[in-house]
Amino acid sequence: MAIVSIAQRLPDEAETIKRLLRNPGDIAAMFRPMYGGCVADRVNTLITQHLSIAADLVKAAKAGNGPAAAEIERRWYANADEMAAFLSFINPYWSREAMTNMWHEHLSLVKAQAVMMLNKDYAGAVAVYDQGESLLLAMADDLTCGIIKQFALPQACCRTVGL
């Protein structure tokens, strides 16, 4: 929604970004019971940065500011690398390489969707959104599997999530 709102200069831009920025806290809350407050707070910070940088990138691209967009994109990928390194540090079942690849693929899809929206290729943007959703669900599955393995959760839990 935020990409669409920014790209189309919709009056709901501030509200969609505000809603988007609730996600990091929701995700951090999932980490808190297993990893504690420090880890949850770091996840919250990294994902908040990820989303804020993404919004800034779309705005710079919309404004046609190529140099600013390039610098923002560099920071966005650095943030993804930092997230991948952090996740692989806290859980031995999340490889740094796999996390990096997933985050980079996610960024690539988000960027493609934003470019398509800015170019008014709405069908393409929807198709890329679907790919991104599938990737995010796979990322969630990988994170879930790593937590289950790391904390040796009972088999009943594994069956509940389909593992």
**Tell me, what's the pLDDT at 6?**
85
**Tell me, what's the pLDDT at 13?**
87
CA angle 162, 41, 109 (to 5 degrees): 60
pLDDT in tens, 41-74: 999 999 999 999 998 998 899 899 999 999 999 9
What are the domain boundaries of the chain? 2-160
**Tell me, what's the pLDDT at 160?**
56
pLDDT in tens, 61-109: 989 999 999 999 999 999 999 999 999 999 999 999 999 999 999 999 9
Q: Which of 89, 86, 79, 141 is nearest to 110 (CA)?
A: 79
For residue 17 the two structure tokens come to 């970004």
Report the distance separating Cα 98 and Cα 88, nearest Å: 9
pLDDT in tens, 12-39: 989 998 998 999 999 999 999 999 999 9
Q: Mean pLDDT score of the chain, rounded to an integer?
A: 91
**Tell me, what's the pLDDT at 48?**
96
Task: Tell me what the mean pLDDT of segment 152-160 comes to.
Answer: 60
User: Is pLDDT of 154 > 80?
Assistant: no
